[in-house]
Structure formats: C-alpha cells, structure tokens
Structure 1
C-alpha cells in the first residue's frame, strides 16, 4: 500500500492553478499571474505539468457503462449546480480523483544488490540510467505519479531522463529531487555525499536544519553528516570529477582516512581499522585508483606517516608512525 503524504505548498498551488484554468475562470490578469508563478521556479512548471499529465491519464482510463436513466439524472444534477464551485470542494474532488487514478496504475519495480567486486547498470522505462557502484543496494519504484529511487547504501550515478513525473531519490534520511540532471550519490554509514554533473538537484536532509535544504548546481558537491543532517562541506569541483568512479578512480579533497575507510569498505570484503586517533584523522587529497584497493593500501605508508598491518581475517589496520 502506498502511504499518503501531506501536499507541499508547490503541489497545492499547482492544483489550484490547474483547476482554475480548467474551469476557465482565469481572466488576463489571472493568466499573467499564473505565468509569473511558473517562471518563479522550474519546480512549479514540473509540478503543474505532472498534474496535467495525471489528469489526462486518468481521463483515458476505461469507465463502467452507465444506464440511460443514471445519465439523465447526472445531467439534470449538473444543470442545477452553480457554474463555479467553492475552491475547497474543487480541490477535494481533485485529490479524490487523483487517489482513484493511482489504483489503476502499473508499477515498475527493480532492485540491485552488488557484491564488492560488481557494478551494474539499469536502463529504466523512461530512459533514465542508473550506474550502481560496487557494494551498492538500490531499488526503483515507478508509478504514474512519480519515479522513486531508494539508495540503502553505496554509490549511484543517475542520468535522469526528462519526464512529467518528478524523480525523487531517497538516501538515508535525506531526499533529493531532480530537475533534469546527472548526479552522483554516495551513501555511507556516517555520511552522505551528493555531486551534480549537470542540471539541478534539490537536497532536503530531512532534519530541522533549514541550511541543509539546498539547490545544487553543476559542479556542486556537498558532504552531509547523517547523525544530525547537517551540511559539513560544500565544494565547487570540475564536473568531470562527479561520478569518476565509473572510470575506476575517485577524486578526494582533504578527506580524513576515517572518511576514506568508509568508501574503501564498498570495495573490500574485509574492514579497514585504525590503531589510534592520529592515524584516523590524517588527511589526503588526490586522484585514487580504487580498482585494486589492496594495492592502494600498500601505497599509503609512502603517502602518509602510517604503518599497515594485515590480520588473519583479512582486515587491514593502520597505525600512525
């Protein structure tokens, strides 16, 4: 069962404009106001077009045949009704109509659970492409109303196709809303990183901190701590760095070894541990080849003042020196 959720201010405004224009109650001033509202945000146009599309799809659904006397009674009833309904009644009718339409919609569902040596691509019905990195768990659910991608862990690069339905990506506690774009999402136990290669993404961390609700443009990369839903860093990077893992490399900017260990955990079936806090907090920048993560670990002592110890269970331990 799909759970209902409160309408956002944009959804309410789009519904009001849609019904007003459908009833032909708009004059020239109202139409100008509508065009001004559309121009305020790409999200306004996307939501209005989504609503119009759902209405059209609902109208195309087969309806039960009505008896002739029922048709006459309905026509007489309509003739007695006022030309314009109160907005509350129209809006309620719209919601009921949309809710009824959802019952007829086909659902497309796919899921991916990659091993630490496996990547996978998904080509979705609308033309969207998903590239799932090693150690990634992601599921996709499409309905007539929306496209929803849920990332349970790992890294996903999304090349979103244009569509009247919004594309909503859930990653931990955060939610991303695409506005025609290509972007990368890295979800680790402690952190969430989002990078945009083209277009725009609306990020809502899901917490009370309004600063974590941001619009990300091409080249923007943000790092969020999952514990409190706060943005800890925001960088502007070359767009070629976003999703570079698809070429077998990752570009890091002044990250701690602790943060890097979380990422390496996707590529290895054994953990990376630290013997002391100093080793954990050492920082690193550069372009790293992670196709052979153990080779990278062997190189670390030549890059930073650490020593590497292997344990029988395959775990690697870094200690400061």
Structure 2
C-alpha cells in the first residue's frame, strides 16, 4: 500500500521554528568568530581572486580578525580528521534540524545590504569590511559535501555557529529553562514549570531546575519537595538528591535530602502514584550502567532510602495519603530521638528549646504534630517523656527527671 508523506505544512512549521531558534543562537555569538568560521570553511572549498582579496582585506582591517581566523583554523583541524561514524552521527542528528531559510547575514560589498547584521556589545567598535554572505544551511552542507565529504556536516556547523565543529551540539545541549529556587525556614513555595510539571517545596529547601530539549533535570540540594511530573516519554524527568537518582516520565512523589532533622544525611523517596526508577550514584551523580543491584523500580505506595554511605536500602510500603504530610502542616515522629525531632521542628521556625544532655536527646517519642505550633509540642513533652522544661538565658532547656 502506498504510504503518504506527512503534510508539508507541518514540516514547514517545524523547520521555521528550528530556524528561528538557530538564528537566535547565532545572534548571541561573537560576530568576528562567526566571520572567521565562514572564511575558514570557504577557503577550504577554495576562493576566487575577488573573494581572496576580500578575505585579505578583512584580515588587515583588525588584528583581532587574524587571531580569530587562526584559532578557527586550528579548531577545524580535528573536524577534517573526523572518523566516518562521527560524521554519520552528526549528519543524522542534523538531517531534520537544518533550517530551510537563510540565517542572519552581514553587509556584503559585492551584493549590497542583506539581512540584519549580528549585533553583540563590544568594548570597542568592530570594523565591518566586506564579508561573505551566509548561504542557506542545506545549500552550504551540500556544496561542501561534494568537495569535503569526510566532514561535510561538521564543517557546515562550524561555518554557521562560529564556535568550532561542536557548536551545534553545544547549542543543543543548553537548557531551555534554568532556575534555582530556595525557601527559608518556615516558608513553603509552589512552583509551576514551563513543561507543565509542578513542584512544592518545604521549608529550608534548595533546588536547581534545568529543562533541556530532550530531558528534564532537578537537583535537590537540601530539603524536601513534592513533584507532580507532567508525562512526556520523549523528555524523561530526573531528580538528583544526594546519592540517589530518580527517573520518571509522569508521576507524583516526594524526595527528602537534609543535613539535619529526620533522616539527616540520607535521601528518601516516597511514591504517591505512578512508577519511578531509582539508582544509587557515586560522587559524580551518575549511576553505573553495569550495577543492576543499585537500581530499583517503585510504584505508588512504596518508598526507598539511600543511606549516608550511598547504599540503597530495601523497598518499604508507605501510605499514599501520608506522602509529604508537611504539605498539610503536619509532621510525624515514630520512635524518633528527641534531639532529631527538635532539629526537624527547627526547620520550620525557632522553637526556643535546647537539649544539652545527650542522654535526654536520645529519648524516643512518637506522634503527629502541627509544625506551626511548636509551643504546644513543648508543653506536651513532659507528658510524653520523663523530662521537664527549665528557663535560662532566654531559652527553655529540656532536662531529664532525676
């Protein structure tokens, strides 16, 4: 049966979007480097007498031009030696990404004014002698491909981005959204990300969000957060928390990684719904591909911890309704040392309480408490543990009964 090609208007729209995005990138580049890349690739192909004279004029116009050209020539040396598999990889990645039209151009003495020049602030004026106009990306790639097939794609990229043969890969690797968020003690924050995902940060929490074209990454530096991830199989969502790496497509879960309070030094995950893959990582944050013992998959109602030593602990069952109870202003202790419970409450505000005796700090307690009512918790302590409160130096010390 005959297969029909996709509607051309869809492809045109995608091409136009890619072109606009690529043009915006080119506009951020140093115009001297862009022109150096163009001259380097044109001279590889071969210049006529007139073009060679223009090139020599460009070199003489500013000492910076010669320096930039020499650097660009050196950067193209590895391109010319690219193995076939690298060239093919580049060619495949760019085949459907090359914009159809002509990127921003500069003034050309032989053809007159063309499109808007690339503008970038500089410490001193940049002289503008006759410079080569940019052909369309596809035409440029095809032209060089005939004369320089071993690295046609890579050279075309270098000609357009002015940053060496890896310029396009570098551009593709830059985040489309990058922002850091932080909450203070006692503060909460709701965040809506551009991809449709939502984050809720607890008190004293710091995260770093980076959204890329092919992946989404969040680093939980400290604190705890609840994630509602918008499903997108083409753009996995990764969360790095201490020695734990979490990968999802779309789900709801909480992650905790704190230096004080409950589970200090550990990374704790609890899944409310959906499916989550967890890996234990090294100092680099990357999971070992061959370490199947350091990876597990969890579903709703399950949780797992990576301990202080980076070791993945057994999966445990959790009540979905209890996941991230701090969102409702509650905190629960279960056979928790008093010192640890007090440190956890301090994340939400100054309690005015201190524990100086290690023996008292080791006493265990349980129960659910409102994080906004530390005073009520303090008043209840003598009925929960063999302790009393003693006022001195502006604080209440929790003292054991003799």
Q: TM-score range by the shorter chain?
A: 0.5 to 0.7
* Bigger proportion of residues as strand: 1
Query: How far off is 1:191 after superposition?
Result: 2.8
How far apart, CA to CA, are the structure 2 residues paired with 1:55 and 1:271? 62
Query: How far off is 1:152 after superposition?
Result: 1.9
Aligned equivalent of 2:142:
71
The structure 2 residue matched to 1:168, chosen from 238, 248, 252, is: 238
Question: Could you give the per-residue CA deviations for residues 213-265 of structure 1, whole angstroms, max 9, x where no partner exists?
Answer: 33222112334432x12346753121000012111112343333343234223
User: After alignment, is 118-127 or 197-206 more displaced?
Assistant: 197-206
Aligned equivalent of 2:251:
181
Query: How far off is 1:294 after superposition?
Result: 3.0
Question: Could you give the per-residue CA deviations for residues 84-106 of structure 1, whole angstroms, max 9, x where no partner exists?
Answer: xxxxxxxxxxxx79834525x55
How far apart, CA to CA, are the structure 1 residues paired with 2:353 and 2:220? 23
Aligned equivalent of 1:318:
398
Distance 1:69 1:140, change over 3 A: closer
Greater gyration radius = 2
Query: How far off is 1:271 after superposition?
Result: 7.7
Distance 1:308 1:173, change over 3 A: farther
Query: How far off is 1:205 after superposition?
Result: 3.1
Question: Could you give the per-residue CA deviations for residues 258-285 of structure 1, whole angstroms, max 9, x where no partner exists?
Answer: 4323422311246864333433333333
2:250 aligned counterpart, secondary structure: strand
How far apart, CA to CA, are the structure 1 residues paired with 2:266 and 2:314? 11
Matched-pair contact (CA < 8 Å) for 1:123–1:130? yes
1:278-297 alignment, distance < 5 Å: 278-297=359-378
Matched-pair contact (CA < 8 Å) for 2:280–2:295? yes
1:220 lines up with 2:320 in the alignment: no
How far apart, CA to CA, are the structure 2 residues paired with 1:238 and 1:55? 48
1:1-321 alignment, distance < 5 Å: 58-59=97-98, 65-66=135-136, 71=142, 74=145, 99-102=169-172, 105=174, 107-163=176-232, 164-189=234-259, 190-207=265-282, 213-226=295-308, 228-231=309-312, 234-269=315-350, 273-310=354-391, 312=393, 314=395, 317-321=397-401
1:215 aligned counterpart, secondary structure: strand
Please give the TM-score of this superposition, normalised by the length of structure 2: 0.53
- Is there any run of 5+ residues in structure 2 with no aligned partner, and where? 1-87, 104-134, 151-165, 260-264, 283-287
Distance 1:270 1:161, change over 3 A: same
Q: How many residues align?
A: 256
Question: Could you give the per-residue CA deviations for residues 111-139 of structure 1, whole angstroms, max 9, x where no partner exists?
Answer: 22212232110000011111111222222
How far apart, CA to CA, are the structure 2 residues paired with 1:211 and 1:155? 26
1:203 aligned counterpart, secondary structure: strand
Distance 1:308 1:60, change over 3 A: farther
How far apart, CA to CA, are the structure 2 residues paired with 1:177 and 1:61? 36
How far apart, CA to CA, are the structure 2 residues paired with 1:121 and 1:56? 40
Question: Could you give the per-residue CA deviations for residues 32-70 of structure 1, whole angstroms, max 9, x where no partner exists?
Answer: xxxxxxxxxxxxxxxxxxxxxx87984569775349686
Aligned equivalent of 1:29:
none
Matched-pair contact (CA < 8 Å) for 1:276–1:319? yes
Matched-pair contact (CA < 8 Å) for 2:345–2:351? no
2:169 aligned counterpart, secondary structure: helix
Matched-pair contact (CA < 8 Å) for 2:253–2:272? yes
1:180 aligned counterpart, secondary structure: coil
Please give the TM-score of this superposition, normalised by the length of structure 1: 0.65
How far apart, CA to CA, are the structure 2 residues paired with 1:198 and 1:115? 28
Matched-pair contact (CA < 8 Å) for 1:241–1:250? no
